[in-house]
Structure 1
Amino acid sequence: MSTTTQAGEALGALPRQRSRPVPPRRSPRSAPQLCVRRASLLADVLALLAAVALLGGAGAADDMVVFGLVLLAGLGAAGLHRARLNLSVLDELPVVLVAALAAAGTTAATAAVLRYPPLDAVVVARLGGAVLLVLAARALVYAVVAAARRSRRVAHRTVVVGCGGLGGQLADVLGRGTHGLLPVGFVDDDPQLAAGERPLPVLGGLRDLPSVVRATGADTVVLGFSNAPERVVVDVVRACHRLDVEIFTVPRYWQVHSTHRLVEVVHGIPLVRLRRPAFRSSTWRLKRVVDVVGAAAGLALLWPLVAVCALAVRREGGPGVLFRQVRVGLDGREFELLKLRSLRPVDAAESATTWSIADDDRVGPVGRLMRRTSLDELPQLWNVLRGDMSLVGPRPERPHFVQRFTAEHEDYLWRHRVPCGLTGWAQINGLRGDTSIGERARFDNFYVENWSLWLDLLVLLRTTAHVVSGTGR
């Protein structure tokens, strides 16, 4: 990366991601992590197939199929097909019964609509038998998984953050093997436990966590309490998001923290599984597909408008209708951004360091119209098609200002974890032009952490409304 100042060095320290999203690499130790998720789903499917084969006779097969499909969907929606530390059929029983009641109601409604024979006592008994088969299959799977954990055939190498009283308790509890985790060491800047009291070695400071994870082959991190500032912990966790690890955290005031079925409890200590960042999800790959299709369609449909704007720019300001400027994108990499020229800068230094030309008297009527309607940004569809940008993402900035804003705003660096965008969450919330950089960084990081295809669509729709209404800049 060509940016060589303090901000550029900080950007260079980010774990690298390819410009086009790819599935995260999984180490050999990651396979057992999927055991509970896949095994519970497989157990449910096999149990329901057995129910259809064994209990679906005498005209009840159709009802059993509908019931099984709805029950399977309900169990998945309730989170019973996810990886878990605690496995108990009794704990899951209320959820399974509620899902079964919903499935039975759906089956009865389907029978009424399609004029099947209504559910009678025999069919209801068969549906109950299917639920019992599901519970039995789950109990068998959980027994197998528990045995594999006790024998250490399923043992996820785990790094514990915080070498204090709580960290010591976590290391002791997890070391018993009942939860499938194998603690390998602590990470802490200021260990509170004396050397003789530590059940595990201290492998480094908090900022060493990503390298410790790589060196130990760990695929799980448990965040206890350390003396490091919260800001440092957040930055380190964000750095770990590029690694193939599951992250659990102990809630603050965990002694009075209420639990629910999505909170893991290990020997009385609640653990909250941090949601994987959106750019690690399977749907993230669809973002690039949408970008290519959208940019290609936009260029094909809007080229007459771009041509008219280019002619107007040339008539107002002479030749050289395209304006090229270096911007910083994904992982701090620089690229050449294209715009229709609204002002001819005096020199390269002015182009690189002038924050805004909104009130510059040199901008003519054509330039002001294009900036107000964002028509000057249409050539960036080519940047999107090339892969420099996305349709939606944090807006790219020039290297000079990236250096400055990274030094001034601690969250600014992290907005470069995903490709920059033609429009963004901050922009549609009024943060464009001469507005707060700190607020922009907060909105951009919210987008990074909470991305979805629906959020992208929402941003595009609201951007279109801004452009049509002429409230762009």
Structure 2
Amino acid sequence: MIRHLWRNRIVVLVAAICADILATNLALLVWFWFVRPLSFEGQLLFDNSPQGGRILFVAVLNAATFISYVAAGMYSLPRGISRIDESFKMLSATSIGVFVAFLTNLLAPQFALPDVVLDTPLLIGGWVLVLFWSVLFRVVYRSMLSRLRRRGMDTRRVLIVGALEPGQLVYRSITRDDSLGYRVVGFASDIVPESGISSVPILGNFDDIGDIIKAQQVDLVIVALSGRASHELFDSIMRAEDAHVEVKLYPDAFTLITNNVVSENEVAGLPLLNVRNGALANPLNKVLKRLFDVAFAALVLLVAAPLMMLIAVLIKLESTGPAFFVQPRVGIDGIPFPTIKFRTMRVDAPHLASWTTKDDPRKTRTGTFLRRTSLDELPNFINVIRGEMSVVGPRPEQVLWVERFSQEIPYYMRRHQQKAGITGWAQANGLRGDTSIEDRTRYDLYYVENWSLLFDIKICIKTFVDIVTGRNKGY
């Protein structure tokens, strides 16, 4: 369900980007057609002599408008945003993009349009054309998306926590317009209201939230509780977040708890507050991290290929058995996947489920060296290429340990909101091997909440320096 949801979101995102690019370039074609008789002396966009300048100008304008749209949040707008509000955001973002493009044309000769004098009327005309086509295409795109949502595409399955008046108000508000694509599966409540709540059932109490989310394939939880203790509200939020779904708060509930909130938006006229999600909840950040992972992993595998072949030979020479060790570990969304590492123990040793210690008798001599230098983890980059792991993220644990830790450590499963990593913030701070799982979890959760590409690069550099200088404590 999670992967299906992401596929839908990516399709919608790509469609929006394509619509904006098409609108910008159609506006340019119309603008060139008007400008040509005045300034181009009969030459078209792809004539031989001025071709380079015009193509560069087109590229700059497309890049500038796209970046301004991303910065303005045009690709992460709430479902209930009005077309007027969206048009105003489009106005400001488009204006910035057009301004940057024309400013570049004036200041950088290599990007300039040949034989064109950009006077005020031409500038205003270009800006109006780009704005007109962009808004027009957005209106068409939103209309088509609304129709598709009515037919069941790009819908959100919603669980409302709280069945009293605040919860019923949320239900009435988000189901009033089916073009928003919200499908309420039911309520979770410890109290059954005296008045009816339409045909939507109460699926369980607050303790059942996690099970309800899994059974009903919920991807959005709206907490609408009134007069509840803050710890009860917080527990409800954490149960939902542990199930890796988006959480929003109705403001009446928000008065009881003030952490975990980053922004407010409006859905069908109802103000809702977003509970803090990691930066990778943004699809663009997700794509950016994936590009970094693939590029980094491919480079490492290419450079380290001779070394990996040598390590495989040394392992085979020292002991019988395969050079690689494959073991199920828990990754994103709590789903197990096969991790690939160089074998560092005797063939029968991995069946003994316990932490590896400094002088662990199960390790081979080659394995001791590989663990001390972290070279045993080089095959993990194959997992990265396959999309099962990331270069940076919480280290994956065995299935039995995850089952235990999820019961013993509060909010432990939140570390599985991202892909497991070859290295992580905990490992970069020396928490490896037989160290406190509580401490490691705190570092992992900090990373999940504060991800950025620069943070990933910082962790990679710190890990490399620790390995080279011998500060790495892997064993």
Shorter-chain TM band: 0.5 to 0.7
**TM-aligned CA distance change 1:90 to 1:427, over 3 Å:** closer
**TM-aligned CA distance change 1:372 to 1:42, over 3 Å:** closer
Query: Match for 2:95: what amino acid?
Result: A
**TM-aligned CA distance change 1:146 to 1:254, over 3 Å:** farther
Q: Can you list the C-alpha shifts for 1:86-125, whole angstroms capped at 9, x where unaligned?
A: 1233664366246415522441332342165553122123
**TM-aligned CA distance change 1:248 to 1:212, over 3 Å:** farther
**Residue 437 of structure 1: how far off its partner (Å):** 0.9
Identity in percent = 25
Deviates more, 1:176-185 or 1:376-385: 376-385
Which of the residues 216, 239, 262 maps onto 2:243? Answer: 239
**Residue 72 of structure 1: how far off its partner (Å):** 4.8
Which of the residues 71, 79, 82 maps onto 1:77? Answer: 71
Q: Which residue is equivalent to 2:120? A: 121
**Residue 460 of structure 1: how far off its partner (Å):** 3.0
**TM-aligned CA distance change 1:263 to 1:418, over 3 Å:** closer
Q: Which runs of 5+ in 1 are unaligned?
A: 1-14
- Determine if contact 2:264/2:273 at 8 Å carries over to the other structure: no
**TM-aligned CA distance change 1:235 to 1:54, over 3 Å:** farther
- Determine if contact 1:159/1:183 at 8 Å carries over to the other structure: yes
Query: Match for 2:73: what amino acid?
Result: G
Q: Which runs of 5+ in 2 are unaligned?
A: 46-53
**TM-aligned CA distance change 1:472 to 1:236, over 3 Å:** same
SS in 2 for 1:80: coil
TM-score, reference length from structure 2? 0.67
Asked if 1:159 corresponds to 2:158, the answer is yes
Q: Write the mapping of 1:335-374 to structure 2, written as runs, cut at 5 A.
A: 338-339=341-342, 341=344, 348=349, 351-353=352-354, 355-358=355-358, 371-374=371-374
Q: Can you list the C-alpha shifts for 1:24-50, whole angstroms capped at 9, x where unaligned?
A: 555xxx899779946963784376246
**TM-aligned CA distance change 1:298 to 1:463, over 3 Å:** farther
SS in 2 for 1:107: helix
Which of the residues 59, 64, 70 maps onto 2:39? Answer: 59
**Residue 469 of structure 1: how far off its partner (Å):** 0.7
Query: Match for 1:56: what amino acid?
Result: V
SS in 1 for 2:203: coil
Q: Can you list the C-alpha shifts for 1:290-321, whole angstroms capped at 9, x where unaligned?
A: 5863563255132476379759x95xxx8889
SS in 2 for 1:79: coil
**TM-aligned CA distance change 1:39 to 1:328, over 3 Å:** closer
**TM-aligned CA distance change 1:43 to 1:275, over 3 Å:** farther
Query: Match for 1:59: what amino acid?
Result: S
Distance 2:153 2:89 in 1: 28
Q: Which residue is equivalent to 1:424? A: 424
SS in 1 for 2:431: coil
**Residue 427 of structure 1: how far off its partner (Å):** 0.5
Q: Relative contact order, CA 8 A, sep 6+: which one is greater?
A: 1
Q: Which residue is equivalent to 1:104? A: 99
Q: Which residue is equivalent to 2:49? A: none
SS in 2 for 1:272: strand
SS in 2 for 1:133: helix
Q: Which residue is equivalent to 1:5? A: none
**Residue 209 of structure 1: how far off its partner (Å):** 3.5
Cα RMSD for the two superposed structures:
5.3
**TM-aligned CA distance change 1:430 to 1:335, over 3 Å:** same
Q: Which residue is equivalent to 1:409? A: 409
- Determine if contact 1:45/1:72 at 8 Å carries over to the other structure: no
- Determine if contact 1:168/1:199 at 8 Å carries over to the other structure: no
Q: Which residue is equivalent to 1:264? A: 266
Query: Match for 1:300: what amino acid?
Result: A
SS in 2 for 1:394: coil
**Residue 466 of structure 1: how far off its partner (Å):** 1.0
SS in 2 for 1:187: strand
SS in 1 for 2:395: coil
Query: Match for 2:103: what amino acid?
Result: A
**Residue 428 of structure 1: how far off its partner (Å):** 0.9
